Structure 1
Amino acid sequence: MTFDDVRKFALAWPEVEDGTSYGTPALKVRKKMLARLKEDGDSLVMPGVPQNERQMLVESQPQVFYFTDHYRDYPMVLIRLSKAKRATVEPFLRRHWRTLASKKAVNEFDLEA
């Protein structure tokens, strides 16, 4: 996967828009970060992942999920897009989108699905 692949499916969701964060491409929902591309050009910075879940992900799929000391105390996980599949990335992103999008947008999305 690439960030462009992520952009294609995420921009189809209501209230998602392109943006930047820390000088890198990002996807935002109502001005809040959904995800961003890390400076390495391959990793997706994925907020909204509790630390206990992150630990399980890193232990079960270390080639895909990881974190650095910088993110140790934050509910975030890093995803190596070059090693990830859409079926893995999309559910995490959609779950976080649901927490950022308006209730109306989520309800309309669910009715269309």
Structure 2
Amino acid sequence: MLGLPGVEEHEGWAGQPAFKVRKKGFVYLSEDESSVMLKALREEQEAMVAEDPETYSPSWAAGRFAWLEADLAAADEEELRELLVEAWRLTAPKFLIAQLTP
């Protein structure tokens, strides 16, 4: 996914693609492939939902992390890419993050 270091595709709970780094999930595709669930900071989740509630909706939150659902048809491609990279950064260990080319 996006050429990010250490990313592996797995099968999610309903057979849909799940993307993980070091066995920790950070992006899950919905069963119908119309949306993705992304790991985010709680503040990012709140900001994205407030900014564009037609595209983004909150999922669950625990501690400092939250999950953000994004409608793929409505999401801006560049913004979605940034959210995917940030979800990966929240999950990947420092040595993998250091491998990411700016």
TM-score tier after normalising by the smaller chain length = 0.7 to 0.9
Structure 2: stretches of 5+ with no match in the other structure: none
Counterpart amino acid of residue 31 in structure 2:
E
When you count strand as a share of all residues, which structure comes out higher? 2
Indicate the RMSD between aligned Cα atoms, in angstroms.
1.8
Count of matched residue positions in the alignment of Structure 1 and Structure 2? 98
- Report what 1:45 is aligned to: 37
2:7 to 16, 22, 29: 16
TM-score (norm 2): 0.81
1:98 to 62, 69, 89: 89
TM-score (norm 1): 0.74
When you count helix as a share of all residues, which structure comes out higher? 1
Large movers: runs of 4+ above 3 Å: none
Per-residue deviation at 1:86? 1.9
Structure 1: stretches of 5+ with no match in the other structure: 1-6
Checking the alignment, whether the CA contact within 8 Å between 1:47 and 1:77 is kept in structure 2 is yes
Percent identity between the two aligned chains:
24
Counterpart amino acid of residue 70 in structure 2:
I
